[in-house]
Amino acid sequence: MNSFILKPPSNAEKKHGSIIEFLVVVVIIAVIMKLLLDIFFSQQEKVTNIAFVGMAQAFTSKVNVVHGQWLMDEQPNVIELKRANSIDKQWVKVNKSGWIDSNHTSLACQQIWQQVLEMPLQVVKSPVIAVELHNKSIKNGRLCRYSIANGQSFDYRSDTGKVKQVY
């Protein structure tokens, strides 16, 4: 009958085992962190997209509110909007058709955004790019495109007041 005698591991073997255990733990933590970061960034993009769609809807609503007020106020050049339960007022410039517009040539779309949403050109932490697209079919107004980095955008026509999602 063979008997096995177990000897206690030497200090060198203990150190070698400890280093391997440490490296395994580091690799496991790195993999978990990578998965969590991927989840975080995918959720952040979804939040930005949802917020941008919400801004497009808010933009549309405000444009329609201003146009409705223009019709009720006998078609002035500037609309006075009052906030509910507040003494604050907002003055919004409109064109001859009663749609929000700006007299400026170079920064008109940025100013339209400011008049409508009263906030910087930004959604969540992503900048919004505002550009005027030149379209020969638009005679008495402008076409503004508001977009974010992932390509999501919406257009606003100041001649008709139409806001259209672009994908």
pLDDT (tens digit per residue) in 7-56: 666 666 666 678 889 999 999 999 999 999 988 887 888 889 999 999 99
Residue-wise pLDDT tens digits, 44-82: 888 899 999 999 999 999 999 999 999 999 999 999 988
CA 85 – CA 121 distance, rounded (Å):
27
Tokens standing for residue 139: 């005679």
| Angle at which helices 108-117 and 11-72 cross, to 10° | 90
In the structure encoding, which two tokens stand for residue 53, read together? 């769609």
- Report whether 37 contacts 29 (CB < 8 A): no
**CA angle in degrees (0–180, nearest 5) for 68-70-72:** 70
Give the pLDDT band of residue 5 (cuts 50, 70, 90): low
pLDDT at 88 over 80: yes
Its pTM stands at 0.75
The values of phi and psi at residue 124, to 5°, are 55, -110
pLDDT tens, position by position, 135-145: 888 888 899 99
With beta carbons less than 8 A apart as the criterion, state whether 130 and 146 touch: yes
The closest of 155, 121, 161, 122 to 141, measured between CA atoms, is: 161
